[in-house]
Chains A and B, each alone.
Chain A
Amino acid sequence: MRRFTFHRLWAMVLKEFIQMKRDRLTFGMMVGIPLMQLMLFGFAINSDPKHLPTALRIADHGPFARTLVAALRTSGYFNLVTEAATEAEARRLLRLGDVQFVINIPEDFSRQLLRGERPTLLIEADATDPAATGPAISAVRAISDHVLDRDLVGPLARLRAKAGPIDFQIHAHYNPENLTPYNVVPGLMGVVLTMTMVVITALAITRERERGTMENLLATPVRPFEVMLGKIIPYIIVGYLQLTLILLAARVLFDVPMVGSLALIYAVSLLFIAANLAMGITFSTLAKNQLQAVQMAFFFFLPSILLSGFMFPFRGMPEWAQWVGSILPNTHFLRIVRGILLKGNGLAEIAPALWPLLAFLVVAMAVGVKRYRQTLD
């Protein structure tokens, strides 16, 4: 009777389910938080910003240049607000944020084009907000390849080179590391799950203690492992609900490509969700009250956002930060999800990121079971 039994585990699971069902507010938050976060991040990502203020620096007023400018304007991404006479002035406009782009058409653009020399069209972008500049830059590439097709006819047709007649140079200022929405939405999965899963279980045991129900629970034969697992299992289902919501949104709202296997994502997520829940449970065995538990969860959440590679590129972080980051489940989950969704990775490729998750889960659970006080001492 000292060992783990399923009927006691099942009793805990059922109880937690009923309580979850009754606690509409928390349940609503479980569903609401991922949606809200998606919307918040989504606005920055999804707005596909158009009519961005743009300055022109035209040193060549030939017909090709005119065609190009007209095409850029009709693309809708650029709002040609001003002309910059000098390079210094162009820089100033960018720095002040008066314009997002400066498009430079060099002096002998038309002549070089005719000679087949692939003239350079330099676009300088204020990339502090890469989500804003990204789509516009992609549009420029698309335009440049074909905009001149109509002009390059007859003997000039040979200039429609494979690589495009114009050599585009894009200088992204201030933030050379271009984050794309594809990167962010899958990352959001890890962030949302970390946030909600850790908090919800961090409260689980402290709540029992604060409401006085712990004394009763301790007076029954239920074992620590049964209590913890019983509190984890119902929230695994909530975690999957959140995961599904985010995947749906990624697909429908943000058009994130899903190259790899969704089944693999769902399978692997179990490990990640359980790791976070175990972390939360462990916090709740350490915390004296619910407030402390929430604070602990928050302290866990911060590095999970900042050091996991969600906010900043992992390899760009100092060594100590990478070291901390590689302990966190979110770091590995991000790699797994991005790998599967964007690169189509299979089990073999993501395996190196699975072990750290498993190790984290086991350690967190062990600490929790050890710290769970079976008496009121």
Chain B
Amino acid sequence: MSGSAYAIDVTGVTKRFGDKTVVNAIDLRVQRGEIYGFLGPNGSGKTTFIRMLCGLLTPDAGTGTCLGYDVRTQQADIKRHVGYMTQKFSYYEDLTLRENLDFIARLYDVPDRRAAVQRSLERLGLVNRSHQLAGELSGGWKQRLALAACLIHSPQLLLLDEPTAGVDPKARREFWDEIHRLADEGLTVLITTHYMDEAERCHRLAYLAYGNLLAHGTLADVLANGRLTTWTVTGPELITLAAALRGRAGVEQVVAFGTTLHVSGRDAAKLDAAVSAVRSPRHAWKKTSSSLEDVFISLMDQAKDNFA
């Protein structure tokens, strides 16, 4: 245990499966009490990275600490202080909610177990369902159970792997409110997600593609470092316009959002030139700030050129 300001502090973490490098020399520092968002396309190595943090996989290279414990040698200590919520529901479907929580509480030797189980049921609003088999729950309730279970031993660090996949917007919002409450109490949270609105609720973000860390920092940092210029267009026959734009030098993304079109590119001068070439008074053109999604897609396209 150390008083280090970082809950997670790793450098050069690498994992290979066969000859495929799934996580490539990632450096990451997460401060205590921070909510850290981890984003990236499918197969980018998010789950693999998290598994290495909590001792489920051994890194092929790299060093670092998690809660002050060495990620390579002190995995047993890490396990006791980390709550890990797996991407796929991994509690026992043939046990009731209470039995599941009780089982986990016993494994961690939680003091005053009964009371702890009861508290966690209450906190997540599961009391009424505590005698229901976990397998009979809907997706959203399963997520709540999983969160309750990985909190029961009062961990210092939460690793949440896509905790809100397939959960309705209201439940998602409640979930995030809970995460923020926990962070206020001093818990550090590393959370992966594919939702941009959730990314915006994190204190800091990291974006991973093909195992490489492409961007990290606060939302503003990430947006600024994306160096993306974006135009929005409204008007008739957007499909024809989009076809005319695609393939022009400087135009990297043309995406339709309902009745508007987003056109973006990293080279502002070239993009402006391309826009001028197709611009007509029939459409309303406006330069806007790029969204996180625009930035991420642009990052991914770059990554494809560089790594894939």
- On A, residues with C-beta under 8 Å from B are 1-2, 5, 7-8, 10-11, 14-15, 18-19, 22-23, 211-216, 218-222, 375-377
Measured between beta carbons, the chain A residues less than 8 angstroms from B109 are 5, 7-8
Measured between beta carbons, the chain B residues less than 8 angstroms from A14 are 103, 106
Cβ B76 vs Cβ A221 within 8 A: yes
- B10 CB → nearest A CB, Å: 17
27 A-B contacts (beta carbon < 8 Å): A1-B77, A1-B80, A2-B76, A8-B107, A8-B109, A10-B106, A14-B103, A15-B95, A15-B103, A19-B95, A22-B95, A211-B90, A212-B90, A213-B92, A214-B90, A215-B86, A219-B82, A219-B86, A220-B79, A220-B104, A220-B107, A221-B79, A221-B108, A222-B107, A376-B56, A377-B57, A377-B58
For chain B, give the interface size range. Answer: 20 to 34
- B70 CB → nearest A CB, Å: 14
B27 at the A/B interface (Cβ < 8 Å)?
Answer: no
Measured between beta carbons, the chain A residues less than 8 angstroms from B208 are none
- B177 CB → nearest A CB, Å: 25
- B188 CB → nearest A CB, Å: 16
Measured between beta carbons, the chain B residues less than 8 angstroms from A18 are 94-95, 99
- B102 CB → nearest A CB, Å: 8
B272 at the A/B interface (Cβ < 8 Å)?
Answer: no
Interface of B is mostly: loop
Cβ B95 vs Cβ A219 within 8 A: no
B32 at the A/B interface (Cβ < 8 Å)?
Answer: no
- A190 CB → nearest B CB, Å: 31
* Residues of B167-219 contacting chain A, CB below 8 A: none
Cβ A376 vs Cβ B51 within 8 A: yes
B91 at the A/B interface (Cβ < 8 Å)?
Answer: yes
* 0/1 string, B64-81, CB within 8 A of A gives 1: 000000000000110110
Cβ B56 vs Cβ A375 within 8 A: yes
A91 to B95, CA, bound (A): 67
- B57 CB → nearest A CB, Å: 6
Known interface pairs A1-B76, A7-B109, A222-B107; A212-B84 also in contact (CB < 8 Å): no
- On B, residues with C-beta under 8 Å from A are 51, 54-58, 76-77, 79-80, 82, 84, 86, 88-95, 99, 103-104, 106-109, 133
Measured between beta carbons, the chain B residues less than 8 angstroms from A218 are 56
Across the two chains, which residue of chain A brings its CB closest to B48?
A376
Cβ A219 vs Cβ B89 within 8 A: no
Question: With A7-B109, A219-B55, A375-B57 given, can you name 13 additional A-B contacts, CB distance below 8 Å?
Answer: A1-B76, A7-B106, A10-B106, A11-B103, A212-B86, A213-B90, A213-B92, A216-B90, A219-B79, A221-B76, A376-B51, A376-B57, A377-B58
In order of increasing CB-CB distance, the 10 nearest A-B pairs are: A11-B106, A216-B90, A219-B84, A212-B90, A220-B107, A22-B94, A212-B88, A15-B103, A221-B79, A11-B107
- A317 CB → nearest B CB, Å: 44
Across the two chains, which residue of chain A brings its CB closest to B54?
A219
A10 to B80, CA, bound (A): 18
Cβ A212 vs Cβ B57 within 8 A: no
A222 to B103, CA, bound (A): 11
Measured between beta carbons, the chain B residues less than 8 angstroms from A377 are 57-58
A221 to B103, CA, bound (A): 12
- A23 CB → nearest B CB, Å: 7
- A148 CB → nearest B CB, Å: 70
Measured between beta carbons, the chain A residues less than 8 angstroms from B82 are 219
In the complex, which of the residues A22, A214, A222 has the most CB atoms of chain B within 10 Å of its own CB atom?
A22
Measured between beta carbons, the chain A residues less than 8 angstroms from B95 are 15, 18-19, 22
A10 to B106, CA, bound (A): 8
In the complex, which of the residues A1, A8, A213 has the most CB atoms of chain B within 10 Å of its own CB atom?
A213
- B166 CB → nearest A CB, Å: 16
Measured between beta carbons, the chain B residues less than 8 angstroms from A375 are 55-58
Across the two chains, which residue of chain A brings its CB closest to B110?
A7
A23 to B93, CA, bound (A): 12
- B28 CB → nearest A CB, Å: 19
Across the two chains, which residue of chain B brings its CB closest to A213?
B90
Across the two chains, which residue of chain B brings its CB closest to A222?
B107
A18 to B134, CA, bound (A): 13
Measured between beta carbons, the chain A residues less than 8 angstroms from B57 are 375-377
> In the complex, which of the residues B86, B94, B99 contacts A216, with contact meaning CB atoms closer than 8 Å?
B86
A7 to B104, CA, bound (A): 11
Measured between beta carbons, the chain B residues less than 8 angstroms from A376 are 51, 56-57
Across the two chains, which residue of chain A brings its CB closest to B149?
A216
- A240 CB → nearest B CB, Å: 24
Across the two chains, which residue of chain B brings its CB closest to A214?
B90
Across the two chains, which residue of chain B brings its CB closest to A219?
B84
Cβ B90 vs Cβ A215 within 8 A: yes
A211 to B89, CA, bound (A): 9
Cβ B92 vs Cβ A212 within 8 A: no
A45 to B66, CA, bound (A): 66
